[in-house]
Structure 1
Amino acid sequence: MNTIVIGAGQSGLAAARSLRDAGITPAILEAGQQPTGSWANYYDSLALFSPALYSAMPGQDFPGDPDHYPSRDEVVAYLQRYADTADVEIRTGTRVTSVEADGAGGFLVHTAGGETLHTMGVVAASGAFGNPHLPTIPGQDDFTGQLLHVADYRNPKHYAGQRVIVVGGGNSAIQVGYELAEADTVTLATRQPIQFMPQLIGGKDVHYWHTTTGFDDLPPHWLARIATGTIVMDAGDYAAALESGRMDRRPMFTAFDGDHIVWADGARERADTVIFATGYRPHLDYLNPLGALDNDGLPLHSGGISTTHLGLGYVGLEFQRSFASNTLRGVYRDAEHITAPIAAYASGALASYGL
């Protein structure tokens, strides 16, 4: 095989389709048992923040009312159908443990099952769900309550009546905090005030404006100047919940102390559960043998094209090239961007130039 795509979620499927359209026949290696990436492992109530109309990948419309917000399970079913029609080899239950150079310009891909596969091209599309980010806070190891990352949260039934602190000010933190607040006392602990963006602007979903104004395609260094913090999509319910006291927001606490947390003002408060909705980092440890990552485990790349190895590319990195990079609606543009150089190298086309 001349190209291996690692990961069969939305990023891997988009990469494989783009490579196939360019005349490359890739194989996808997926650690899980179904070609739907991490979607099946998210919390039960997760729904897309973009309507179905703006959540489709090329070649397959998202079913149902174009204005509805698809549920987690709808996305899983959508990706399964997408994989079924991808016309590429997909090996599920095949976890990649390491990738190393073969000494002749190609790669050796090693799997947990003991296989070693040779390839000239590698696309790392393994996402970030397998690498949740959990900050270290003084006293954390001795906290006697329950501490978890939102990656391990499923639904509110196990937390009824508890005092819950949700750490984070992004979409997942707000959505989880809001549903827990039906039966629990919930505080959102954030380092900055929460920034809400209205779901509807001028009677249209904000994603209509993202796609028609070009906002979706703004490069990361422009976005950093426009949006100085995390933005939360809100149809009005979340801001109203904070205003009404259904849940509250406080500056981030500074320490754990037994079964208590210590707030920034020095006040101590007992907490039953602390849920960190503090994001994820790229899950790329299998590339360590290549030397393709920096000291923080982040890929060395330019727009998804490796700056360390010919034939290596990435799809699905947050803000890889734009605001929409790791979304269902935007990931294919990044896949197309890396396809030409990966295809040229993996197919041997560059040999005619003596490379």
Structure 2
Amino acid sequence: MTAPAPLDALVIGGGSAGLAAAAWLQRLDVHAAVLESGSSPSGAWPTYYSSLTLFTPARHSSLPGMRFPGPPDHYPSRDAMAAYLRAYAEHLALPVVRHADVIRLQAMNGGFHVTARDGRTWAARTVVAATGTVRRPRRPALPGAEHTGVQTLHARDYRHPEPFAGQRIVVVGAGNSGAQIAAELGRVARVTLASRRPLRLVPQRPLGHDLTDWLTWSGVERVPIGAFGRVPAASPVVAVPGLRAALRRGNPDLRPMFTALTQDGVRWADGTVEPVDTVILATGYGWNGSYLPPAALGPDGEPRQRLGISTALPGLYFVGLPGQRTVASGTVRAAGPDARAVVRHLVRHLETGHAPT
């Protein structure tokens, strides 16, 4: 039996970045498919904590070819974003293959061979990796962790505050997720937000306009990331509604990172020891490229790439990486522009048979 001809492109991952890439491929008549590990093309959104909302208003949260529904000034919820992605894939009739959990990608015969966990395989001339970060939570080594009885979770495992009612909780991390989770837990528990860097708050709507509007009007989000040097290690925290009030009430309170876990709590930097029920690590994620060959990744597990183009394997591309092209890269609002740039390069690669310079 003759094997089917390879696709021109495979997109791995059905979140916002992967669907945006698929939309651009469709516009340019590239024969492609999207491999989504879950039951629907909604990315990682259904796995986030239930109260999560975008920092970006709906008018900046659309993917190419379909406006985000509702008032343009509203901030979409977790569930609204997941529903939008499902509707987007259906509206554009994107070729999504569900339950296709990719475990291996191999460079073969000038193209790629892709294998899913259930044994299905695909061949493609090019691949766009858009698998995001949620499967690779960063868990810093905590002194004393091997002997502690304190429940230690990653923010990925947090859904809503009710199971933590009445507890003493330390949330680790001075980013947006850590601050929001700590403030939400402060309604039902005694919470400290602990970090190695001071919390840096920025207003969500300076002078009555969303922060994203100002970044768009100023042109900052269109400036190539190289113009700013390295991506900052710690981003400012957007002061979403209720966050400043929670901090003023002192729940959560802010403290420098503890020095160690004890048997039943933490040891703070001043030497005091305090009983704690739960530590929640809002310490971010690394990019999920476990299915890629080692040559495609650097020592830190991050892709070897420039502007979303693999510097190790011709024909391999990435979308959805923080710092990929601009300061907005890695966010929903940058998915369309970043995917467009990558797909343009991909099409030239298909036409010439090699990676253009």
Q: Residue 234 of structure 1 is aligned with which of 230, 239, 243?
A: 239
Map residues 119-158 of structure 1 onto 2, 5 A cutoff: 119-158=124-163
- State the match for 1:299 in structure 2: 303
SS at match of 1:141: coil
Q: Residue 45 of structure 1 is aligned with which of 46, 51, 74?
A: 51
Alpha-carbon distance in structure 2 between the residues aligned to 1:55 and 1:233: 17
Cα distance change of structure 1 residues 309 and 62 upon mapping to structure 2, 3 Å threshold: same
SS at match of 2:332: coil
- State the match for 1:171 in structure 2: 176
User: TM-score normalized by structure 2?
Assistant: 0.94
- State the match for 1:309 in structure 2: 313
Q: Is the 8 A contact 2:23 2:64 kept in 1?
A: no
RMSD: 2.0
Q: Is the 8 A contact 1:12 1:125 kept in 2?
A: yes
- State the match for 2:85 in structure 1: 79
- State the match for 1:90 in structure 2: 96
Partner letter of residue 318 of structure 2?
A: Y
- State the match for 2:201 in structure 1: 196
Map residues 208-223 of structure 1 onto 2, 5 A cutoff: 208-223=213-228
Cα distance change of structure 1 residues 193 and 221 upon mapping to structure 2, 3 Å threshold: farther
Alpha-carbon distance in structure 1 between the residues aligned to 2:130 and 2:230: 28
Partner letter of residue 306 of structure 1?
A: S
Map residues 112-123 of structure 1 onto 2, 5 A cutoff: 112-123=117-128
Offset from partner CA, 1:211-254 (integer Å, 9 cap, x none) = 11112223334445796732111146323322331220100111
**Where do 5+ consecutive residues of structure 2 fail to align?**
1-6
Matched, 1:19 2:25: yes
Offset from partner CA, 1:86-128 (integer Å, 9 cap, x none) = 33311110111011111x2111111111122211100000000
Alpha-carbon distance in structure 2 between the residues aligned to 1:110 and 1:151: 26
Cα distance change of structure 1 residues 224 and 278 upon mapping to structure 2, 3 Å threshold: farther
- State the match for 2:352 in structure 1: 350
Alpha-carbon distance in structure 2 between the residues aligned to 1:98 and 1:226: 29
Offset from partner CA, 1:16-42 (integer Å, 9 cap, x none) = 111121221210011111101100110
Cα deviation, residue 353, structure 1: 11
SS at match of 1:202: helix
Map residues 236-275 of structure 1 onto 2, 5 A cutoff: 237-275=242-280
Alpha-carbon distance in structure 1 between the residues aligned to 2:97 and 2:247: 46
Alpha-carbon distance in structure 2 between the residues aligned to 1:192 and 1:140: 22
Offset from partner CA, 1:231-283 (integer Å, 9 cap, x none) = 11114632332233122010011111111111112111111000000111000
Q: Is the 8 A contact 1:200 1:235 kept in 2?
A: no
- State the match for 2:290 in structure 1: 285
Alpha-carbon distance in structure 1 between the residues aligned to 2:248 and 2:19: 42
Q: Residue 35 of structure 1 is aligned with which of 18, 35, 41?
A: 41
Alpha-carbon distance in structure 2 between the residues aligned to 1:196 and 1:83: 36
**Where do 5+ consecutive residues of structure 1 fail to align?**
none
Alpha-carbon distance in structure 1 between the residues aligned to 2:158 and 2:233: 28
Identity among equivalent positions (%) equals 42
Partner letter of residue 93 of structure 1?
A: H
Matched, 1:328 2:301: no
**Which range moved further: 232-241 or 112-121?**
232-241
Q: Is the 8 A contact 1:188 1:248 kept in 2?
A: yes
User: TM-score normalized by structure 1?
Assistant: 0.94
